[in-house]
Structure 1
Amino acid sequence: MCSNKPKDPIVLIKTNYGNIKVRLYNKTPIHRDNFLKKAEEGFYKDLIFHRVIKDFMIQGGDLRTKNDADSLSEEKTIGDTISAEIKFPLYYHKRGALAAARWGDSENPTKASSISQFYIVTGELIFDEELNNLEKKRFERLKQQIYNDIQSDNKEVIKTLYKEGNKEKITELRNEWQAQAIKEAESRKAETRYSESQREFYKTKGGTPFLDGEYTVFGEVIEGMDVVDKIQNVETNGRDKPIQKVVMDMVVLEK
């Protein structure tokens, strides 16, 4: 039988340690198209993996590393971004996941992705106790987010009650909103949970689950994890930068 489902694009990341083949997800179209465009334009040619942390990830794609890789300084202001496409629990930070780097929450509350920097997860084995704790924290964040949204939608009501000095009504409303947030969070609990297959992957192959729901995962390695492992084991300096450059280039194999 024929299928009309579009194929996920395939990109080859060429490095001086070998080649890494990645599949891009069609369900993250902003990141897919951005990555393909940059790859086709030769944006990544001669850039390096400038941040490498063993049992965590390898990161590259910073344009500043092309001509003066040895003097890369910490960026103080947020750079160009694309909108987040966080699809957890569909996509998660399993070993081999391809994800977009981003600036921190304080300056980037929408979790927008860097327009060019990406990382590939190596990670480590994670077991049920830690996964359970992460689920609990994620549920609490969801509940707080829902409450904050309700409160934001009713800020004019709160302002009026403050002006009137009606503290009793404010307390009553906040209790109602808290109950409403709990009820909605319970109905959306699946958004915070790992499936049995995801748990099994983390326990047997590894990853970085504490990043789930916080960064956009937009693809995965389908060949060349041995090359990723070679890169994660290179010698680095005090800023997690490889002593010997790990240079990249990209070729789009399938669109």
Structure 2
Amino acid sequence: MYFWLYDETPEHQSTFIELAEEQLYDQWTFNRVALDFVIQAGCPDDSEHFPDSPWLIEPEFNDDITHKYGAVGMGRDENPGKLSNGCQFYIISNEEGVHRLDGEYTVFGTVIGGLDVVEAIEHVETDDSDQPVTDINITVTIEHKTAQELLDEFDWDVDAL
């Protein structure tokens, strides 16, 4: 999968890049797969990583950046400030989007290549708590591309939200 990270969410973008460059995401898996909703990866939802995570981020909501199909957002536990936890991210797998999450969770990117991978992960066997029966490991690598490279490789216009 290839993500475009929005400049309009600088704290989420920089935290995602920082954790990717530190290879923290690489030690975790896709730990939640909810059909027609989301696939979620990153740190486990446990007392070690929540609620006192060192990666808590203030929300960066933007009316133009919504929970459309392929949106990449940061996970969080219930908290009054709607703080994101930088060690978890999710991808919207519902083709109509999940707009009830708008203004509740921060979207900081979108999938620009590899939606077929999202769909494949979405259809793996899961247990009763939506956790995949077989681990789905992740590796996150940061690549910097020019606007022309994005257009050529992914037919993605950097001015598109």
Q: What TM-score results when the alignment is normalised by the length of structure 1?
A: 0.53
Opposite residue 109 of structure 1, the aligned amino acid is P
Cross-structure match for 1:244: 134
For residue 107 of structure 2, the aligned residue among 213, 217, 229 is 217
Instruction: Say if 2:72 is the partner of 1:101.
Output: no
Deviation, 1:74, is 4.7
Opposite residue 14 of structure 2, the aligned amino acid is D
Cross-structure match for 1:226: 116
For residue 51 of structure 1, the aligned residue among 12, 32, 36 is 32
Structure with greater helix share of residues: 1
Greater RCO between the two (CA within 8 Å, min separation 6)? Answer: 1
For residue 110 of structure 1, the aligned residue among 81, 95, 107 is 81
For residue 79 of structure 1, the aligned residue among 49, 52, 63 is 52
Q: Distance in 2 between matches of 1:58 and 1:79?
A: 23
Q: 1:92-171 maps to which residues of 2 (within 5 A)?
A: 92-104=66-78, 108-123=79-94
Deviation, 1:75, is 4.1
Number of residue pairs aligned between Structure 1 and Structure 2: 142
Q: Structure 2: which 5+ residue stretches go unaligned?
A: 146-161
Q: Structure 1: which 5+ residue stretches go unaligned?
A: 1-19, 65-72, 124-204
Q: Distance in 2 between matches of 1:98 and 1:79?
A: 23
Aligned-pair identity (%): 39
SS of equivalent to 2:16: helix
SS of equivalent to 1:91: coil
Q: What TM-score results when the alignment is normalised by the length of structure 2?
A: 0.83
- After superposition, the CA RMSD in angstroms is 1.6
Higher alpha-carbon Rg = 1
Q: Distance in 2 between matches of 1:95 and 1:254?
A: 23
